[in-house]
Amino acid sequence: MNILLTGGCGFIGSAVIRFLIRATGHHIINVDKMTYAASEEALESAGGDARHTLVRADIADHAAMRAVFATHQPDVVMHLAAETHVDRSIDGPGPFIQSNVVGTYTLLDVARDYWQALPAARKAAFRFHHISTDEVFGALQPGDAPFTETTPYDPRSPYSASKAASDQLVRAWHHTYGLPAIVSNTVNNYGPWQFPEKLIPLVTLNALEGRPLPVYGDGSNMRDWLFVDDHAEALVKVIEQGQPGATYAIGGRQPRTNLEVVHAICDAIDARRPDPAGSRRRLITFVTDRPGHDFRYEIDPSHAEAALNWRAPNDFTAGLGKTIDWYLANEAWWRPIREARYAGQRLGQTKSAA
């Protein structure tokens, strides 16, 4: 099977490609614009495998996407390419609309024409899998039931609004044109190769370097967490077993407050690299909350677990340990990114917090 996967040099996309090369016989056409968070290194040995082809292109470019479809003849589209950082979307929403909304529309438009021209058997087997976020559902309060596949949409940030729009475009193309499309929504992912502006790598690396660990508000905001390799496995099950028109809410059953996550990181690093000055928890610094900060996200993955015969293998402690060990062993990758980040901050660029 030929899989056209967008954003394959990103955090989740690269994990999916590594899983596909390791565990399946599928061929992957990896379409990536190679923006700031993309890394060919994240593909590891899969990048040089004969079953992987990297195409540097913008998913919002109609001509480029038509050429990719015509040349590589995909059987499945796995659409992961997206701008994802909430703080960046607040500071500058334009790229999020362009990539997440216009880019998704472009892929759908090209995929529909391509799919309609396929021979009957290939047309029946074709799938368009759009990977999204739980943030489209809005925010939960204490005591609210977790999100499910039927939770109404209520996005609160430019990022989540752009993803909500793209989700609804995918569903519209299924209902209007019959395109065999599937949507999956997931929780916060973490693991190796995540760009250092995100919560877990940011706190991990700040703690290693003795820098302040900025936490928004009082740290009580809660997120559900999923180890990225577990998510990759679930996404492959979606393209192999998922039903057109369906939605799958994929979660790890691992909710934590931001402060609990930061404490767990500090304790795990202290156990691996003790600091003579004391526990890294001393570095925690509470900062002014960001605008529109959603209180809680959590998914009930029961339907997806049953439909896909899948459940996240790694609990948060195991996944976090693997993640921290990876960052400890891969300073050569993250160090230049960190140096560029702090050089930029000295020029007035935005900081991130937990």
Specify which residues 77 forms β-bridges with: 4, 128
Beta-ladder partners of 53: 29
CA neighbor of 111 nearest in space, from 26, 27, 177, 33: 177
Token digits of residue 187: 């929780």
Q: Which 3-state string (H, E, C) describes the chain?
A: CEEEEECCCCHHHHHHHHHHHHHCCCEEEEEECCCCCCCHHHHHHHHHCCCEEEEECCCCCHHHHHHHHHHHCCCEEEECCCCCCHHHHHHCCHHHHHHHHHHHHHHHHHHHHHHHCCCHHHHHHCEEEEEEEHHHHCCCCCCCCCECCCCCCCCCCHHHHHHHHHHHHHHHHHHHHCCCEEEEEECEEECCCCCCCCHHHHHHHHHHHCCCEEEECCCCCEEEEEEHHHHHHHHHHHHHHCCCCCEEEECCCCEEEHHHHHHHHHHHHHHHCCCCCCCHHHHEEEECCCCCCCCECCECCHHHHHHHCCCCCCCHHHHHHHHHHHHHHCHHHHHHHHHHHHHHHHCCCCCCCC
Question: Is 159 an annotated catalytic residue?
Answer: yes
CB contact set of 207 (below 8 Å; sequence gap of 6+): 213, 265, 266, 269, 280, 283
Q: Which of 159, 248, 297, 327 is catalytic?
A: 159
For residue 99, how many other CB atoms are within 10 A of its CB?
Answer: 22
Task: Check 83, 134, 167, 294 and give the catalytic one.
Answer: 134
Please confirm, yes or no, whether 135 is among the known catalytic residues: yes
Active-site residue flag, 134 = yes
Query: Which of these is catalytic: 32, 58, 83, 135?
Result: 135
Catalytic residue positions, numbered = 134-135, 159
